[in-house]
Amino acid sequence: MIACDSNVVDRLRGLLARYRMRLEEVTPDTPIPGSYWGEPEAGLVGAAVHVRRDTPLHSALHEAAHVICMDVVRRSRLHTDAGGEFAEEDAVCYLQIVLARQLGVGAAEICADMDAWGYTFRLGCAHAWFARDADDARAWLIRHGLLTENDEPTWRCRDAESQSGPEYVGHAVRATTG
């Protein structure tokens, strides 16, 4: 499992800065503020993603992708629970894989970590979903201006004009996607 250790944290900080987000490091054995799933999982408080050196990279990217994908109203009151609708959750999973590539981590590698954590996908694993069954998630990201047709991040967060779909309260259990 790739962790937010010294090999990753500076690159992750730079990536989040492009979205006007902050990466906040928590010292070892300190509770992680805003962690929905509990330690060592990443936490969200406002525009900050909180991690420790033992936080899985996929967790930090997933929570960052939630901030990027949520509308401005939810982003303005964000603490711990990102909420969102099911199509958005799928888009978050897709975007975290795209963002991992920006850090030099391949899709197969980050997807293996997602599978090890317990994400579930209709095709049996994250990489199969990403490669063969995620067209709707990709289209959602493009429609909301978060991804280009070439699968490159636009380095912007979703705005109020790009809202769609009803919200649900809370995360899907273990990010069941598919």
Compute φ and ψ for 113, nearest 5 degrees.
-65, -40
Find the mean pLDDT for residues 92-111. Answer: 97
Q: Which residue has the tokens 């900050």?
A: 48
- Residue 120's pLDDT is what? 86
Could you state, in order of their start, the residue ranges of all structural domains in the chain? 1-159+173-178
- Residue 162's pLDDT is what? 47
Provide, rounded to the nearest whole percent, the portion of the chain with pLDDT above 90.
Answer: 84
Q: What is the C-alpha separation between 40 and 148, in angstroms, rounded?
A: 32
pTM score of the predicted model: 0.89
Q: Which residue has the tokens 């990010």?
A: 175
Instruction: Decide if pLDDT at 165 tops 70.
Output: no
- Paired residues of 121 in beta bridges: 177
Q: What is the C-alpha separation between 123 and 148, in angstroms, rounded?
A: 25
- pLDDT band, residue 172 (cuts 50/70/90): very low
Query: To the nearest whole number, what is the mean pLDDT of the chain?
Result: 90
Instruction: Decide if pLDDT at 149 tops 80.
Output: yes
